[in-house]
Amino acid sequence: MSTTVPPWSAADAYDAALHAGRGPLFLRRADGRLLPLDVERWCGRADAVDLDVLDRCEGAVLDVGCGPGRLVAELAARGRTVLGVDVSRAAVERTVRLGGPALRRSVFDPLPGEGRWDTVLLMDGNVGIGGDPPALLARVAALLGPGGLLIAETAPADVDERVSVRLADARAAVGAPFLWARLGTPALLRCARGWVPAGQWSAGGRRFLALRSRSASSTAEPAKRAAVISSQRARKPSGDSPVADR
């Protein structure tokens, strides 16, 4: 199977930061502006804000851009069906060491269980993957089953930008440029044509948006589920549906 491996995956600075468990690490824009990456939080245990997000997840969970695996490991420890995918070798290795299953793969590559995942996570700014939010949302919709749930972490400000960035550490920019996007909740909602809004919330200075893919069998059911997410009491099925590689 051929795998699309973007520049991020070959960045020594990113791998070094994950191995060390700390930064500083940034995305450097073409205009010189630095966007800090919260490596310490990513490499730590799931915090209270993360746990609240995980409580909202339904069924089998796919964590896209799982990073060093704190969320995958927490879900695995709960006995949930979960898989992390990331283009970074160091991220995948760290996730596996924590006890979470993970694959080194792009979200745009073939993935196990396509069309059968119950929840997809785009945390820690991963709505920016590929710099093309509509394309990413379309890909996520193809991964989810009918009426499946997307939980995305959005930018804390009302921004909507697509930029070329390079990974940078404390010394200089490293690696090749790649496209990234930054979207606040209103911008992501504008991109989410064909999705059913299922709630939005803020916690710990972070913002989140839940979206429901449209069900092929019913238009009323997503609306009922939206109220559940908004009330912060996501459905918790008695058992996770199995997801197998095709």
Tell whether 205 is covered by a domain: yes
Lowest-pLDDT choice from 5-14, 77-86, 166-175, 233-242: 233-242
Position 3 pLDDT exceeds 50: no
Interval 87-117: pLDDT, tens: 999 999 999 999 999 999 999 999 999 999 9
Tell whether 237 is covered by a domain: no
Tell whether 235 is covered by a domain: no
* H/E run at residue 165: strand 160-168
Phi–psi pair at 7, nearest 5 degrees = -55, -35
In this structure, what CATH number is given to the domain that contains residue 140? 3.40.50.150
Tell whether 171 is covered by a domain: no
Position 61 pLDDT exceeds 70: yes
* Crossing angle between the packed helical segments 48-56 and 70-77, to the nearest 10 degrees: 60
What's the rounded Cα separation, in Å, for the pair 132 and 134?
Answer: 6
Tell whether 34 is covered by a domain: no
On whether the CB atoms of residues 103 and 111 are closer than 8 A, the answer is: yes
Find where tokens 């090749």 sit. Answer: 176
Q: Is 245 exposed, middle or buried (0-12, 13-18, 19+ CB in 10 A)?
A: exposed
Tell whether 20 is covered by a domain: no
Tell whether 194 is covered by a domain: yes
What's the rounded Cα separation, in Å, for the pair 161 and 176?
Answer: 20
Lowest-pLDDT choice from 56-60, 198-202, 239-243: 239-243
User: What residues make up the domain containing 75?
Assistant: 47-161+180-230
